[in-house]
Every structure is written in C-alpha cells, then in structure tokens.
A and B are shown apart, each in its own frame.
Chain A
Amino acid sequence: MAEPAQQKVFAPWEDPSEKPIIRFEGVTKRFGDFTAVDKLDLKIYRGEFFALLGPSGCGKTTLMRMLAGFETPTEGHIILDGQDVAPIPPNKRPVNMMFQSYALFPHLTVWENIAFGLKREGMEKDKIEARVSEMLRLTRLEQFAKRKPHQISGGQRQRVALARSLAKAPKLLLLDEPLGALDKKLRQETQFELMDIQEKTGTTFVIVTHDQEEAMTVASRVAVMDHGKLVQVATPAGIYETPNSVYVADFIGDVNIIEGAATPNGDQVEIAWAEGLAPIVAKSSEPIAPGAKVHFAIRPEKIYVSREPDMERANRVQGKVIDIAYLGNISTYRVRLANGQMISASMTNARRLSRRDFTWEDEVWLNWTDTAGLVLTR
C-alpha cells in the first residue's frame, strides 16, 4: 500500500531557511510633512500572492510604487532577490505593474499592447510572436488580438493589462487594485482566474486592495496597513480568526467589540464590562495584567442565539431583538443588551422562515463559549 502523499502546505514564511524575494528594511517614505510609510520591515517570499490591505491613504500604494521604482524611499532599503533596488530605475527592474486604470495604450491593439514590453527588450520577432500568443492563450484573449482597447469590455481590458504585465515574465508582479473597476460578479470570477494564473506562472504577486474580501480570497498572506505601518501580517485565516488588535478585527469582517476591565483567572480572563451583569469569560493566549483595560472581540457567527439560555456555553447574555437582516442563507440579528450595548449575531437559516422561534422585539439569549472571542489589549 502506498504511503498517503504528504500534503505540503505553502508556508515559506514559517521556514527560517527560506530566503525572501523582497525585503523591506526600515523603509520610510515622506512627502513633505506627511509620512506615507513609516519605518516598515517586511519579507515577501517567492511564489507568494501577497496582499496589502488597508483604507485609502494608509500607504499601501506608496509601498507598491516604491517596489515598481516610481517612488524612492526616504530612508531604508528595499532588497529584491538579494539586490538593493534603490539605484535601479523603473524601466530596468525585473518588476512589472498592472495599473488600477489598466493604462492600456489606446492607440495600440491588444496584440501590440502585450508585445510592447517585449519589443523594448529587443526580443526577436518570432519569439515575440510566440510569447504574445502564449499570453493571449493564458488570458483567453486570442480572438481579440486585433482589437483596440476601446473595442473590448472592461473584463477583457483587465485581462489585457494582466497579460501585458506578465509578458516579460517579471520576478515580481504588482497589482494595483486590479479588480476595482469590475462589477461584483465579474470580480469574483476574476479573483479565481488571477489565482489560477498566479499558480500557473509561479510569479510572485503583490496586490494592493482596500477590499478585504478580495484580499482574503486571493492572498497567501495579508498585510493590514494603517497610517504607514503594518498592523498585522498573517494568512487570511490568521487575520480573521486571531486579529492582533481592535483595528484589524474591525477592518476585516464584522465584529462586536466590548470594552471592559480584565481579571486573570488561570488560563482564563474575566472581563467586567457592565454593572449588574456577569463578567465575560474568555481564554487568552497572552498574559494579561489584572485590571487592564481590554477589548473583547467576537464575530457575529460565533454567537448562538436562542430562546432559552444555553447552559453548555460559558457566556450567556439576555437582550431584545431590535433588527433582523435576512440574507437568505443567514440572518443577522441586532440585539440590544440590558446596558444598551448593541450586539450582532448571525445564525444560519437552517429552518424555514415561518418556523423561526423569535422575531422582532423578542427577548433572546446570546450564548458563546470561552474560546469564541478574543481578548485584545490594543
């Protein structure tokens, strides 16, 4: 009997012997008084699909433009494949970029757009032909080769931009909000296409986005940025399940944040959060000082809503249903607790709507286990 194949998980960041393809070392970028990127350290590994996620103005685009060479760091070094890129001008870097506006040359056909970079390299004619055909096949654009950019649809333009930036086989491909201009349905399809192409070509992708769903879907790791700093760098699951701060928890998905004072009790923490109500009991991986002000973060889907208190779960709070958002597969309940705090909880609609036990204005119990939420100290 054959040995079951060992499923190798792609996680070069956990392997200390692995050399990163990109290293940011204390990179700072200032525009006048404004610090766009602040003393940033980051390692990105070969073959990664790395997402830079953050609100507009957080410095993610500046970070990408420094990689492309359109901006130079005020301080610090960017090392690409063992080489400091500071003295290399953008047209000589083994890095290509897919622009947010696609920046397709309107006076050239799809074919000529894709061939543009290859021609600048001085590649032989028949090699260019072969490479462009390969790119057209990869992005399923064969029948549009002779069209001009204004004669094709938005989704096709996006693929031309991708093909053009991949044509030179860069070590690193930068994608600046690549799907921002597409409608939702097309965006979801394209996300999987992007992942597929990334896997096929083995190119390291760095994507900038403000859409957390997009980052979660495509990326091997996500870096959440705020005010020029990296708040957390982790896998999508890590970011979602164990955010390291209120900022990250709040930025990714929906979350309920409850403030309170902590009292450590073994490996558990009791959080006093409202007078006259039982403290929240939660497990915490890191030690917490007695009396410290903490935030308890819990995702709506980790809360169980019921008519009667569920004694198997460590935390039980009573409240009144104020609002129900019916989304088909799930419903999100907005529940007001005795102290006025609003809590969102979502439940799968396993039963038919007509058989639901509770509705608007009903008194319900919110129950969750001691591991359902996270205790955050910042």
Chain B
Amino acid sequence: MNLRRLFLIAVPYAWLGLFFLVPFLIVFKIALSDSALSIPPYTPTLDLSGGWTSIKEFFQGLDFENFVFLTEDSLYWKSYLGSLKIASISTVLTLAVGYPIAYAMAQSADEWRPTLMMLVILPFWTSFLIRVYSWVGIISNEGLLNQLLLGMGVIDTPLQIMNTPTAVYIGIVYTYLPFMILPIYSALEKMDGSLIEAGVDLGCSKLQAFWLVTLPLSRPGMIAGCFLVFIPALGEFVIPSLLGGSKTLMIGKVLWEEFFSNRDWPVASAVAVVLLLILVIPIVLFQKNQEKAEEAGR
C-alpha cells in the first residue's frame, strides 16, 4: 500500500526532475561556463574519463562571469525592464478587453454559451505563428488597415504601426486574450445570479451591484487571467521579433540573438536563468491566488 503511494507520488516528481530540473541544471551549468570556438560552443565540458583531477578542473572552470556581464552591459537590464513594461501594459490591456467579453459571455443565454466558448478557443486551432504573421498583413504600411483608412480618406499617409511597441501590444493582446477570458468567465459563470438581486434588494443601483458584488467575486478569475497573460508575455519572443522591429527591446529577443546570432551560449543561458528567476515571483503569487480561490470556493 505504502509502496504504491510512493510510486504514485514519485511519477510526477520523476517527470519534473527529468524534464525540468535536469534541463535547468544543464542551462545553469552553461551559464557558468565560458564561450569557446568549439562544439559545443563553451568550455569546460565534463570529462569523466580523466578521473578526479578532471572533475576538479571542471568545477574550477565555472564562474559567475556571465551574470556579472549582464549587469555591466545596459542592453540586458534595459531589455528586462522593456519586457516587464510591455508585459505589464499588455496584461492591463488584455484585462480591459477580456473582462467585457467574459462578462457578456456569462450573461448570455445558456444555449449560446458553448458556441461563444468555442469562438474564444477556435483561434488555437491554427498555428500561433501563422496568426501572428497575418497581423503583418493587417497592420503593415501596405496592409489592410492602412488601405482601408486611406481608401475612406480618414488618413493621408499610412499609419506606422508595424515595428513599433503598439504592434507588439496588438500581437500580445490578440494572442493571449483567451487566457484572460476563460478564467474570468469561469468565475462569473459560477456566480449565483441571486447575489446581484440581493445587492439590488438591499439598495444598490445596478452599477453599484456590479462594483460591490460582481467585481470582487470575479477577482480570483481576473488575477488568474493576468498571470496567465503576464508570465508568457514576459518571455515572449515571436511577437516582438515579427511585429516589433529592431527598436522594441524584449528579453526574449535578446536571448534568441545571443543564442543564434552571437552563438554565445553561456551569456544566453545566463539571460535565461535570470528570466526564470524573475518569473518565479509571479508564478508563486499565482499559485497562492489559486489556493485562496479554491478555499473560498468550498
């Protein structure tokens, strides 16, 4: 009996260890190494055949040089800050767009809800890359939007949206909107409609009832949605590199360039480790929020 329980618990831990902890340790090790013109492009590499001395040499070859380097070159912390800023602003924007949609879904007639839910999830059926690319066709200077506005005579010169932070916001809000809508919807949908009636019965106007009852009760959903958008947006690489142009500084893009353009794996790994550490904070907060919501739901 105990053995079986041990086994059941061991499975997820083994999975996490094998596919999360081990890769992380490898990346962390590379971050402590030095760049080199070799395959793989860093040194030292562990050579067990050399015995105890070579293991000792291996550990002597590791240092925190790359982390120090990250603090010296302003590019890195500016990119981190840029990412934080873009992720925060787009989270707020996604919330502003997502909440009304989720609210409308929760208010709609029962028979419509599955369809609306489907429409929210439907974009996931096409490749994320293709969907982001198609935005290029909409917002570029020769794109649909500019052609439409020029044709209607609203503007004389095409709007420069492409290759600006605005394009990145559009891309992130569009891509992550379902992650915002679904948790808010599920919080609103669970809500007992008589709570609003009780609020009105006790003297609230409709707006007050929304503010005092609906909004606080959907807060766990809002917080969950914000984290689900903020966390991936922080490390986002595809959207800023396709839509943001060279001027948009985001850490995901820097990471990619270090790996593939500079081929400086140790620095790239250091960037990745720091990004992970930054993400640990919101992830822990997210977990706390989920636990609290579960407790309140009982």
Using CB atoms and an 8 Å cutoff, list the residues of chain A in contact with chain B. Answer: 68, 70, 89-92, 95-97, 99-101, 103-107, 116-117, 120-121, 148, 150, 164-165, 168
Contact status B216-A107, CB under 8 Å? yes
User: With A103-B195, A107-B217 known to touch, is A96 a contact of B201 (CB < 8 Å)?
Assistant: yes
Contact status B194-A103, CB under 8 Å? yes
Contact status A168-B203, CB under 8 Å? yes
Contact status B197-A99, CB under 8 Å? yes
Which positions 183-208 of chain B face chain A at CB distance < 8 Å? 192, 194-195, 197-205, 208
Bound-state CA distance A104–B208 (Å) is 16
Contact status B202-A117, CB under 8 Å? yes
User: With A90-B200, A150-B296 known to touch, is A105 a contact of B195 (CB < 8 Å)?
Assistant: yes
- Contacts A91-B205, A165-B201 aside, 18 further interface pairs with beta carbons under 8 A come to A91-B200, A91-B202, A92-B203, A95-B201, A96-B201, A97-B197, A101-B194, A103-B194, A106-B217, A106-B296, A107-B217, A116-B212, A117-B202, A120-B202, A121-B203, A148-B296, A150-B298, A165-B202
Neighbour of B198 across the interface among A92, A105, A107, A168, CB < 8 A: A105
Closest to A93 in B: B201
Which of B194, B201, B203, B212 neighbours the largest number of chain A CB atoms within 10 Å of its CB? B201
Contact status B201-A120, CB under 8 Å? no
B213 on interface, CB distance cutoff 8 Å: yes
Closest to B295 in A: A150
Bound-state CA distance A121–B200 (Å) is 12
Which of A70, A96, A105 neighbours the largest number of chain B CB atoms within 10 Å of its CB? A105
CB distance from A123 to the nearest CB of B (A): 10
CB distance from B222 to the nearest CB of A (A): 13
CB distance from B213 to the nearest CB of A (A): 6
Bound-state CA distance A28–B24 (Å) is 71
CB distance from B214 to the nearest CB of A (A): 11
CB distance from B126 to the nearest CB of A (A): 39
Render B258-298 as a binary contact track against A, CB cut-off 8 A, 1 for contact: 00000000000000000000000000000000000000101
Using CB atoms and an 8 Å cutoff, list the residues of chain B in contact with chain A. Answer: 192, 194-195, 197-205, 208, 212-213, 216-217, 219, 296, 298
Determine the chain A residues whose CB is within 8 A of the CB of B195 once the complex forms: 103, 105
Closest to B215 in A: A107
Bound-state CA distance A164–B198 (Å) is 10
Q: Is the interface of B mostly helix, strand, loop or mixed?
A: helix
Bound-state CA distance A89–B204 (Å) is 11
Contact status B217-A120, CB under 8 Å? no
Determine the chain A residues whose CB is within 8 A of the CB of B217 once the complex forms: 105-107
Contact status B296-A164, CB under 8 Å? no
Bound-state CA distance A89–B207 (Å) is 14
Determine the chain B residues whose CB is within 8 A of the CB of A107 once the complex forms: 216-217, 219, 296
Closest to B193 in A: A103
Contact status A105-B194, CB under 8 Å? no
Contact status B208-A120, CB under 8 Å? yes
Contact status B202-A164, CB under 8 Å? yes
Offer 12 A-B interface pairs, CB within 8 angstroms, sorted by A: A70-B200, A90-B197, A90-B201, A91-B203, A103-B192, A103-B195, A104-B198, A107-B296, A116-B202, A120-B203, A165-B201, A165-B202
Determine the chain B residues whose CB is within 8 A of the CB of A164 once the complex forms: 202
Bound-state CA distance A117–B213 (Å) is 13
Determine the chain B residues whose CB is within 8 A of the CB of A89 once the complex forms: 200
Determine the chain B residues whose CB is within 8 A of the CB of A68 once the complex forms: 197, 201
Determine the chain A residues whose CB is within 8 A of the CB of B212 once the complex forms: 116
Determine the chain A residues whose CB is within 8 A of the CB of B216 once the complex forms: 107
CB distance from B215 to the nearest CB of A (A): 10
Bound-state CA distance A100–B217 (Å) is 20
Determine the chain B residues whose CB is within 8 A of the CB of A148 once the complex forms: 296
Contact status A105-B296, CB under 8 Å? no
CB distance from A300 to the nearest CB of B (A): 40
Determine the chain B residues whose CB is within 8 A of the CB of A92 once the complex forms: 203
Bound-state CA distance A106–B204 (Å) is 17
What are the nearest 4 A-B pairs in CB distance?
Answer: A117-B202, A120-B203, A103-B198, A103-B194
Determine the chain B residues whose CB is within 8 A of the CB of A117 once the complex forms: 202-203
Contact status B201-A97, CB under 8 Å? yes
Closest to B203 in A: A120
